[in-house]
Amino acid sequence: MKVSLNWLKRYVDLPEKPQEIADALTLLGFEVDDIETTGLEALENVVVGEILDRQQHPNADRLGVCRVALGNDIGEKSIVCGATNYKVGDRVPVALPGAKLPGGFKIKRSKLRGVESDGMMCSGKELGVTEDAEGLLILEGSPELGTPINDVLTDSDTVYNLEVTPNRPDCLSHIGIARELAAWYKRRLMYPEICGDHPLEERPDGQPIFSGVAVDCDEDCPLYMATVIKGVKIGPSPDWMQNLLSSVGLRPINNVVDVTNFVMHELGNPMHAFDSRDIQGKRIRVRLAYDGEVMTTLDDEERKLSSRMVVIADENRALAVAGVMGGQNSQVKEDTTDIVLEVACFKPSTIRWVSKRLGLSTDSSYRFERGIDPHSLKFATDRAVELLLETAGGELCSNEYVVGGLPAWESEVSLSPDWVRSKAGFDISDDEIESSLESLELDVATSHGDWKIGIPSHRGDLDRPIDLLEEVLRMYGTHRIPSSVVAATATTRNDSPITEFVRSASGFLVGQNFSEAVNYTLRSQEEQTLWASHVSAKELALKNPISEDQTQLRHSLLPGLLETLKLNQSRNTGATRFFETGRSFREVNGKVVEMISVAFLECSESAFRSWNQVERDDFFSAKKRVEIIAGFAGVDLDRFSIKPVNVNNAAWQEGHCSEIEEPKAGVSVRIGLMNLSRTKEMDIRGEVMAGIFSILPERLRQAKRVKFSPFSLYPASSKDLALVIDQDEQAGNVIKTVSKIASKETKGIFDLEDVSLFDVYEGSKISQDKKSVAVSMTFRSMERTLKDKEVNKAFEAIQNEIREKTTYLIRD
């Protein structure tokens, strides 16, 4: 909201500099977005001087040396000047050494072509008041010598663009802001005085012009006041009013419209004047619009109305969209003589809805949306009538038409000064609390530590002690709230398991030379279906996306990482390893779940060639990384079965990828080579090896404390076994089976420490549909060194068991 300093000064004395007032407004809670100065800025050391004579400069044809009188306090100065438009005896603005002109130009005593100059005589442009840079600004009316220039050129103004928070509708006016400043500076607020006295019985009868108001929808329009003025003469409004309206960005239109705008910005009450000739049937009806009803608003737009909108209508048609904008059909025109002035109160949510629906936000709708104090309507009407009679003439007619009642207003809040201090946490005296509240026009009745605070009707936002605490702090100055030492008690809980897990996984991947990327959570449907054909796009879609490329929740972090890789390749940054952590979303049994994901990828191709190649990720190094990451989440992936990714899954390269899906454990894993033709289509060079681990957040637990297990100090003994198995049998199963048999056969005798797989062979020595795997079993005892005999015996038993219970062939 724009607020003019000149306008504010009508209601409160404000001798402070414009910047100081901006600071005060900021500390009152009205953030100043910008300050605009029109006319002359506040300048120091620029005063009125008179040119006493002019001598030719000895070294420059175009310069003159003037003797300038600056009044008794300053005396005379000698000033070099290049202008030619002046004559001796002219009075001009003189910038003395120390002055700082608009644009930052500093004046100091200096020599010009060898002649001392003790200041500068200024042009209009140099002062920032006109565009004239050619000659000196000749001051009319012979102002006193030595007078500060701001006292001579007084048509300047400062306009603040303020942010008024939604809880303060009472401050959407100059009087509201002035009230705050008066409270801040503890000065008197001067309301506009209404001196005109128009007793009802002396007024002419308005009946032939206008005969009444009916309100159909009293919930949307609880109070409506119409006043008739006849015989107005339309013309321009006075200069002072035009200047003030222009300063806050309003275009002066005519005296009647300008008064309605002026009072709205002065007191905060939107109002509207109708040309009474255009009110058919002489009656105003406040009603809901008809579906499909059409009217043309003042901005020349044809508006289609609907049945939730409220209109001000006559017997035939809508004349205005209530609280938003008037209609062209009834606006005040050059030949208007009789007007009906509307001052009303509309329901905020209705106006908000209408304004949004029509895409039409006006000064009026803005104020109604935030709420108008119904108790303010009468004063606003009187003020407007007075200004109308003053600026447009005419006569106020009898019969004020008022529909709707004034709600009773009596509001009192109990407050104890001790409570204020206990909530603030620092000392504020009783006197200070009392004067703070009183300066805001609250009525303070102090008695025995339990005060009763009367709240005026324009402060509907104050109804609890805590609301008053805020007012006390505002008046105290929130910048003065003292700091103190933090009263830190012990931390009462640990960081969330999610935080801890992500921290560990990220630290690990950073240590493996991966760079963390952050990609958008919202992805396009196209990308989503490209990389995860089985994802039901519908389940993850937003209702109201902002753009085509961000329509749904990400199913996986990998498409984002591929985009990251692609960008880095196209910019030749040389980077090949990226990871990301974050939330991913997937559908499980018709419901979408939010999972914690860690994903990484490595590309085989770097933009840089190096003399020394680093080993690249293959499937198994990626698998190792995923296993370690799973470990940070407390998950042992060995417990789950790992399968090749479904061949229909377009994201992965068939035969070089795998997945673990354990909905019960809330775990999902993908490892492998990203689909080569897809990455190629994306213009990604090289092969991309990737891994992603996802877990339901509720499955993450705080890490358990480790329990130490003792280990044997005796030597280990090992036995190797070569097994011929079916080609499609998973080696992982063989390890599991052998482990199971071996631990069974050694149970109670000694321990099976490890079963490892050290060779896989396919080739001419065995048949084509078979492969050979070699496993090594390590045995150890807690109590003794193992004897060959007992190990051999167990080994025999293990082999027998394998022959009996499995399809594996033992190779000799």
Partner 1 sequence: MEEELNSIVESAKRNVSAVNSRAGFEAFKAEISGPNGTLTRVMKGMGSVPKEDRPAFGKLINEAKTELQALYDNVLRSIEEAEIAERLGPSIDPSLPSYALGPGSLHPLTQIREEISRIFKQIGFTVAEGTEVETEYYCFDALNTPADHPARDLQDTFYFPDNASFGNVSKKEDERYLLRTHTSSVQIRTMLQDDPPIRIISPGRCFRRDTVDATHSANFHQVEGLYVDKNVTVRDLKAVLDYFFEQMLGKGTKTRFRPHFFPYTEPSFEVDFSSTHLAKLGSEWVEIAGCGMVEPAVFDSVGYDPEVYSGFAFGMGIERIAMIVYGIDDIRYFYQNDHRFLKQFA
Residues 548-577 that bind partner 1 (CB under 8 A): 550, 553, 564, 567-568, 571, 573-577
Q: Work out whether 578 is an interface residue with partner 1 (CB under 8 A).
A: yes
Report, in Å, the least distance between residue 364 CB and partner 1.
Answer: 18
Where in 345-374 is the site for partner 1 (CB under 8 A)? 349, 352, 356
Q: Work out whether 782 is an interface residue with partner 1 (CB under 8 A).
A: no
Report, in Å, the least distance between residue 539 CB and partner 1.
Answer: 8
Report, in Å, the least distance between residue 164 CB and partner 1.
Answer: 9
Of the pair 147, 411, the CB lying nearest partner 1 is at 411
Of the pair 422, 767, the CB lying nearest partner 1 is at 422
Q: Work out whether 308 is an interface residue with partner 1 (CB under 8 A).
A: no
Contact assessment for residue 142 and residue 131, using Cβ atoms and an 8 Å cutoff: no
Q: How far apart are CA 675 and CA 680, in angstroms?
A: 9
Which has the closest alpha carbon to 690: 531, 525, 551?
531
Q: How far apart are CA 164 and CA 178, in angstroms?
A: 13
Of the pair 408, 490, the CB lying nearest partner 1 is at 490
Tokens at 21, concatenated: 């007032």
Looking only at the bridges linking them, the beta strands covering 64-69 and 271-275 are unpaired
Where in 152-181 is the site for partner 1 (CB under 8 A)? 165-168
Q: How far apart are CA 521 and CA 552, in angstroms?
A: 8
Q: Work out whether 588 is an interface residue with partner 1 (CB under 8 A).
A: yes
Where in 438-477 is the site for partner 1 (CB under 8 A)? 464, 466-467, 469-470, 473-474
Binding residue for partner 1, selected from 424, 530, 724, 757, defined by CB under 8 A: 424
Binding residue for partner 1, selected from 2, 9, 10, 26, defined by CB under 8 A: 26
Q: Work out whether 593 is an interface residue with partner 1 (CB under 8 A).
A: yes
Packing angle of the helix pair 363-370, 255-267 (nearest 10 deg): 30
Q: Judged by CB under 8 A, which stretch of 133-141, 508-516, 701-709, 756-764 contacts partner 1?
A: 508-516
Q: How far is CA 61 from CA 57, 134, 290, in A?
A: 7, 17, 80
Tokens at 167, concatenated: 């809880």
| Cβ neighbours for 478, distance < 8 A, ≥ 6 positions apart | 27
**SS3 category, 585:** strand
Which has the closest alpha carbon to 452: 424, 411, 407?
411
Report, in Å, the least distance between residue 468 CB and partner 1.
Answer: 10
Contact assessment for residue 174 and residue 265, using Cβ atoms and an 8 Å cutoff: yes
Of the pair 432, 754, the CB lying nearest partner 1 is at 432
Q: How far apart are CA 188 and CA 241, in angstroms?
A: 23
Where in 239-258 is the site for partner 1 (CB under 8 A)? none
Report, in Å, the least distance between residue 165 CB and partner 1.
Answer: 4
Which has the closest alpha carbon to 154: 42, 8, 249?
42
**SS3 category, 24:** helix
Of the pair 595, 657, the CB lying nearest partner 1 is at 595
Q: Of all residues in the chain, what percent are helix, strand and coil, respectively (each to 5)?
A: 30, 25, 45
Tokens at 336, concatenated: 């208007």
Q: How far apart are CA 387 and CA 262, in angstroms?
A: 9
**SS3 category, 264:** helix
Q: How far apart are CA 264 and CA 752, in angstroms?
A: 90
Report, in Å, the least distance between residue 495 CB and partner 1.
Answer: 4
Binding residue for partner 1, selected from 280, 521, 621, 730, defined by CB under 8 A: 521
Q: Work out whether 429 is an interface residue with partner 1 (CB under 8 A).
A: no
Q: Work out whether 261 is an interface residue with partner 1 (CB under 8 A).
A: no
Q: How far is CA 592 from CA 503, 589, 796, in A?
A: 25, 8, 53
Residues binding partner 1: number (CB under 8 A)? 99
Q: How far apart are CA 292 and CA 294, in angstroms?
A: 6
Report, in Å, the least distance between residue 440 CB and partner 1.
Answer: 13
Q: Judged by CB under 8 A, which stretch of 137-145, 433-441, 451-459, 578-586 contacts partner 1?
A: 578-586
Q: How far apart are CA 580 and CA 518, in angstroms?
A: 6
Report, in Å, the least distance between residue 323 CB and partner 1.
Answer: 15
Of the pair 118, 471, the CB lying nearest partner 1 is at 471
Contact assessment for residue 250 and residue 318, using Cβ atoms and an 8 Å cutoff: no
Report, in Å, the least distance between residue 243 CB and partner 1.
Answer: 31
Q: Work out whether 294 is an interface residue with partner 1 (CB under 8 A).
A: no
Q: 204 burial class (0-12, 13-18, 19+ CB within 10 angstroms)?
A: middle
Of the pair 237, 506, the CB lying nearest partner 1 is at 506
Q: Work out whether 510 is an interface residue with partner 1 (CB under 8 A).
A: yes
Where in 524-543 is the site for partner 1 (CB under 8 A)? 539, 541-543
Q: Judged by CB under 8 A, which stretch of 189-197, 267-275, 337-345, 602-610 contacts partner 1?
A: 602-610
Q: Work out whether 618 is an interface residue with partner 1 (CB under 8 A).
A: no
Cα 490–chain centre separation: 34
Q: Work out whether 702 is an interface residue with partner 1 (CB under 8 A).
A: no
Q: Work out whether 522 is an interface residue with partner 1 (CB under 8 A).
A: yes
One character per residue 27-46, x = contact with partner 1 (rule: CB under 8 A) = xxx-x---------------
Of the pair 406, 424, the CB lying nearest partner 1 is at 424
Q: Work out whether 72 is an interface residue with partner 1 (CB under 8 A).
A: no
Where in 475-504 is the site for partner 1 (CB under 8 A)? 478-479, 481-496, 498-499, 503
Tokens at 545, concatenated: 């996306």
